[in-house]
């Protein structure tokens, strides 16, 4: 048990969960007082002592399932269904359909998953080698195609609210089925080739370390959900910073006035309270497909942080530039704003990013938007398809603004590869690598974009 | 004194005070008592964090001492304060009193000190710790790890009986590592539809099981949309009470449309839900 405990804690650390020595000891203490036979309370005991941030929980669950796999009930379950080797697939799909419409915590559900992985999951991965894959199970049974059938059975008539609710329930059950299959597959691989090997690849990075450029659609939705909590956290941090700042300049009048009571000697000085610094913000963001998820997220965040700025104006570009502020009006719906922006704004002519043209057009049409109080924020990957970069125009724009920053979602080693001209631009304007939420939050906190 | 005998017992006793705990909650609550460590409960507003502390106090028959945190909370209001007026009067009345004005007699107890010195079982609830300034966390560290308070003039006061400490946070800011390290952590999220149905049934007696089921499913669907603020359990309960007051038996599209304001508090969320659920 001790070895397993130490191995598990080590694997958590490797997966990027900070587990201190003291927390490891707490967990060991917790193991002394709980019922070790109850797997769920073991899981929760570990979670309570080791996992201190909710973003680490999904990775924790994956590792826990590997290190402490459920005990196989050796056919003792009373309602155990026998799945013959040669049951036709159609019949199995029928069983799956019944299970999906029932309660996914049913032991029969787990039993079914186990059998199905055993039957369909084994795929030859090379000469003489076999491995386990979840996609072959999902392809054989294709639960998604059962949805229509299930809906017909559950509802007397289609459409309207009841269908929405039924769909929601079915799709959440299908997701649970897929997760169960994936976890069973991981368990089988671990059985074949050892826990350590699979553990390294099984854990996905936590949402705040997720690379903007590599997010899937589902993860993007999850990222957007992070916008408001993150904005709230940043806003509270920024106001604290504002409050703790230095006091302002000497208030001459009040100091002289106070000196009258000490015979004209200014013993106490009075300072003016510092005026809150609320910058105007201009965001210029690349809306081409390659970086769109990054731009969307950053735009949403800055608009959620609106209270921190007196004025936010946003411009989007691909090879020409247009103002998109109006789509992000306060209270507007996030998704609508994005779809309207991509549909209505005049940002594309040929569909290939052209930074040089964009900066020239921006200076022509909106150059007067930048003033001495403005912070300029450019979001993009600096990949200009070998077009002229218009460095001088950018230099002029930067010199007009109070601060200017460039956020680049590409990892630093990839700058200047291919058509990227990151370094040429970064001699003019400070360029920051910004690949995930953590880096973005750190940028907003550490620079003058928000407050001082 | 041990607070609970085992995980199943926690579940039963919390149920006795109308709090339905799942595996995670029951295990964390049991461990906090068994290991003598504070329990940090984090999660969105209205999922029953404060209620959990109250339920623990109710289930174990302990006294609840509550410290509500807010911006600007300081030592004098959280821990202890000297009764200056009384000290001043004593000095004026008696010239030799300089030595003994820092004694028990002049000490004003605040929630933290009260919880430490109480010899009856006590549940100390430090509510919304994220609203307090960062300095308050430093103040709490000594109490949370050693259950003692150091008052310079009096020395160290150790707990007569370890209180059961629950901290809650809305995660508006990241708490310090030092604080988190000393606590057990419990993240309270939104419940499964089954559990939510049971919660609604316990908290809104008189609601039919069928309606509670529909309510829980609808709220689960609302939470799956991308909303600014997902409806909380507290709001689901409000919704149940609204339907009961209106005497509705069925949660159909018209009813939802009329009463959606109970659960969704943003205009854009409202619009989104109407569109996605196909309400008119």
Residue A396 domain flag: yes
CATH number, domain of A385, equals 3.40.50.410
Residues A147 and A288 in one domain: no
Reply yes or no on whether the pLDDT at A438 is more than 90.
no
Residue A191 domain flag: no
Residue A192 domain flag: no
Q: Please, what's the b/e burial string for A78-98 (b: 16 or more CB within 10 A of its CB; e: otherwise)?
A: eeeeebeeeeeeeebbebbbe
Among A48, A167, A218, the strongest candidate for a mutation testing the B interface, having the largest count of B CBs within 10 A, is A48
- Using a pLDDT cut of 90, give the percent of chain B over it: 40
Residues A176 and A264 in one domain: no
CATH code, residues B7-73+117-187: 3.40.50.300
Residue A187 domain flag: no
Residues A294 and A331 in one domain: yes
Residues A363 and A379 in one domain: yes
Average pLDDT over residues A307-317: 81
* Residue A228, min C-alpha distance to chain B (Å): 7
Reply yes or no on whether the pLDDT at A76 is more than 50.
no
Average pLDDT over residues A206-235: 76
Residue A81 domain flag: no
Q: Which of A202-216, A355-369, B172-186 has the lowest mean pLDDT?
A: A202-216
Residue A452 domain flag: no
What digits encode the pLDDT tens for the residues B201-240? 998 988 888 899 889 989 988 888 878 888 999 999 999 9
Search chain A and give the residue with CA nearest B228.
A228
Among B3, B170, B195, B226, the strongest candidate for a mutation testing the A interface, having the largest count of A CBs within 10 A, is B226
**Per-residue pLDDT at A283:** 86
Residues A304 and A417 in one domain: yes
Q: Could you tell me the residue ranges of all domains in chain B?
A: 7-73+117-187, 193-276
Residue A195 domain flag: no
Residues A58 and A136 in one domain: no
**Per-residue pLDDT at A78:** 44
Residues A268 and A241 in one domain: no
What digits encode the pLDDT tens for the residues A46-70? 999 999 988 888 889 888 988 888 7
B172 contacts chain A (CB < 8 A): yes
Of B35, B185, B276, the CB nearest to A29: B35
B86 contacts chain A (CB < 8 A): no
Residues of chain A with C-beta less than 8 angstroms from the C-beta of B6: 35
A46, B113, B140, B163 from B145: Cα distances, Å: 20, 15, 9, 12
Show Cβ contacts of residue A277 under 8 Å, excluding neighbours closer than 6 positions: A242, A451, A452
* Residue B254, min C-alpha distance to chain A (Å): 10
- Using a pLDDT cut of 90, give the percent of chain A over it: 5
Q: Which residue has the higher pLDDT, B141 or A129?
A: B141
What digits encode the pLDDT tens for the residues A12-31? 888 888 899 999 999 999 99
Reply yes or no on whether the pLDDT at B280 is more than 70.
no
What digits encode the pLDDT tens for the residues A319-354? 888 888 888 776 666 677 777 877 787 877 777 888
Count other C-beta atoms under 10 Å from residue A74's C-beta: 6
Q: Give the three-class secondary structure for B250.
A: coil
Residues A98 and A232 in one domain: no
Of A165, A233, A333, the CB nearest to B174: A233
Q: Which residue has the tokens 């155990």?
A: A80
Residues of chain B with C-beta less than 8 angstroms from the C-beta of A223: none
Helix A195-202 with A160-193: angle, nearest 10 deg? 140
| Separation CA A32–CA A387 (nearest Å) | 67
Q: What residues make up the domain containing A155?
A: 89-180
Instruction: State whether B226 and A335 contact (CB < 8 Å).
Output: yes
| Separation CA A189–CA A203 (nearest Å) | 14
Average pLDDT over residues B3-24: 90
Residues of chain A with C-beta less than 8 angstroms from the C-beta of B35: 26, 29-30, 33
B159 contacts chain A (CB < 8 A): no
What is the rounded average pLDDT for all residues in chain B?
A: 88
Residues A319 and A372 in one domain: yes
Domain tally, chain A = 4
**Per-residue pLDDT at A293:** 77
Of B27, B172, B278, the CB nearest to A45: B27
**pLDDT band for position A108 (cuts 50, 70, 90):** confident
| Separation CA A77–CA A111 (nearest Å) | 10
Count other C-beta atoms under 10 Å from residue B163's C-beta: 26
Euclidean distance between the first and final Cα of chain B, in Å?
59
Q: Which of A235-244, A258-267, B76-85 has the lowest mean pLDDT?
A: A235-244
| Separation CA B155–CA B161 (nearest Å) | 18
Residues A254 and A315 in one domain: no
Residues A291 and A438 in one domain: yes
Side-chain half-sphere CA neighbours of A21 within 13 A: 0
Residue A333 domain flag: yes
Of A161, A168, A224, the CB nearest to B253: A161
**pLDDT band for position A442 (cuts 50, 70, 90):** confident
Reply yes or no on whether the pLDDT at B251 is more than 90.
no
Instruction: State whether B266 and A335 contact (CB < 8 Å).
Output: no
What digits encode the pLDDT tens for the residues A141-155? 888 788 888 887 777
Q: How does strand A374-379 pair with strand A403-408?
A: parallel
**pLDDT band for position B31 (cuts 50, 70, 90):** very high
Residues A161 and A267 in one domain: no
């Amino acid at each position: 048990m001790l070895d397993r405990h130490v191995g598990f804690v080590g694997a958590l650390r490797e997966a990027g969960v900070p587990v201190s020595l003291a927390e490891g000891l707490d967990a060991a203490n917790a193991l002394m007082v709980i019922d070790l036979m109850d797997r769920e309370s073991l899981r929760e005991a570990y979670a309570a002592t080791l996992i201190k941030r909710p973003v680490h929980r999904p990775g924790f669950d994956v590792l826990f399932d590997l290190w402490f796999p459920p005990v196989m009930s050796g056919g003792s379950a009373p309602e155990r269904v026998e799945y013959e080797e040669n049951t036709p697939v159609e019949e199995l799909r029928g069983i799956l359909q019944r299970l999906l419409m029932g309660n996914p915590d049913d032991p029969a559900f787990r039993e079914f998953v186990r059998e199905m992985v055993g039957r369909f999951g084994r795929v030859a991965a090379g000469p003489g080698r076999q491995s386990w894959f979840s996609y072959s199970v999902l392809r054989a049974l294709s639960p998604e195609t059962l949805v229509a059938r299930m809906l017909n059975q559950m509802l007397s008539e289609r459409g309207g609210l009841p269908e929405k609710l039924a769909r929601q329930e079915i799709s959440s059950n299908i997701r649970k089925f897929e997760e169960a299959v994936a976890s069973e597959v991981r368990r089988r691989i671990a059985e074949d080739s050892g826990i350590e090997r699979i553990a390294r690849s099984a854990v996905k990075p936590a949402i705040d370390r997720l690379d903007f450029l590599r997010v899937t659609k589902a993860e993007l939705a999850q990222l957007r959900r992070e916008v408001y909590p993150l904005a709230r956290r940043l806003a509270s941090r920024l106001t604290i910073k504002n409050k703790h700042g230095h006091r302002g300049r000497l208030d001459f009048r009040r100091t002289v006035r106070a000196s009258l009571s000490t015979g004209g000697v200014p013993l106490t000085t009075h300072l003016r309270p510092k005026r809150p610094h609320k910058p105007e913000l201009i965001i210029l963001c690349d809306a081409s497909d390659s970086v769109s998820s990054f731009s969307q997220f950053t735009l949403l965040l800055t608009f959620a942080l609106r209270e921190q700025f007196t004025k936010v104006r946003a411009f989007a570009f691909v090879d020409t530039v247009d103002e998109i502020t109006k789509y992000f009006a306060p209270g507007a719906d996030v998704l609508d704003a994005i779809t309207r922006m991509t549909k209505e704004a005049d940002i594309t002519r040929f569909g290939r990013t052209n930074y040089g043209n964009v900066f020239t057009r921006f200076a022509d049409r909106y150059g007067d938007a930048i003033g001495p109080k403005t912070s300029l924020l450019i979001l993009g990957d600096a990949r200009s398809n070998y077009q002229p970069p218009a460095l001088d125009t950018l230099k002029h724009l930067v010199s007009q603004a109070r601060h200017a920053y460039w956020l680049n979602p590409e990892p630093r080693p990839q700058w200047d590869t291919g058509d990227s001209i990151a370094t040429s631009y970064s001699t003019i304007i400070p360029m920051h690598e910004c690949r995930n939420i953590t880096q973005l939050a750190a940028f907003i906190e550490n620079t003058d974009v928000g407050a001082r | 004194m041990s607070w609970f005998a085992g995980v199943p017992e926690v579940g039963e006793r919390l149920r006795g005070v109308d709090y339905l705990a799942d595996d995670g909650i029951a295990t964390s609550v049991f461990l906090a008592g068994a290991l003598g460590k504070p329990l940090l409960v984090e999660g969105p507003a209205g999922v029953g964090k404060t209620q959990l502390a109250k339920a623990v106090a109710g289930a174990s028959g302990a006294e609840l001492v509550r410290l509500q945190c807010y911006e600007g909370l300081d030592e004098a209001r959280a821990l202890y304060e000297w009764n200056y007026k009384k000290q001043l009067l004593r000095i004026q009345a008696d010239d030799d009193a300089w030595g003994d004005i820092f004694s028990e007699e002049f000490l004003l107890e605040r929630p933290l000190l009260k919880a430490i010195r109480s010899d009856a079982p006590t549940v100390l609830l430090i509510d919304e710790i994220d609203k307090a300034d960062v300095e308050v966390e430093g103040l709490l560290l000594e109490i949370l790890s050693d259950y003692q308070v150091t008052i310079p003039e009096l020395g160290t006061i150790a707990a007569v009986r370890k209180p059961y400490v629950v901290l809650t946070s809305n995660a508006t800011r990241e708490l310090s590592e030092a604080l988190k390290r000393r606590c057990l952590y419990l993240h309270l999220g939104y419940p499964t539809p089954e559990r939510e149905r049971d919660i609604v049934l316990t908290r809104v007696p008189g609601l039919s099981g069928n309606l509670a089921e529909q309510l829980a499913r609808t709220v689960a669907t609302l939470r799956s949309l991308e909303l600014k603020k997902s409806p909380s359990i507290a709001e689901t309960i409000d919704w149940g009470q609204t339907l009961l007051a209106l005497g509705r038996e069925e949660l159909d599209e018209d009813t939802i449309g009329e009463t959606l304001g109970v659960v969704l508090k943003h205009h854009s969320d409202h619009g989104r839900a109407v569109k996605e659920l196909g309400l008119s």
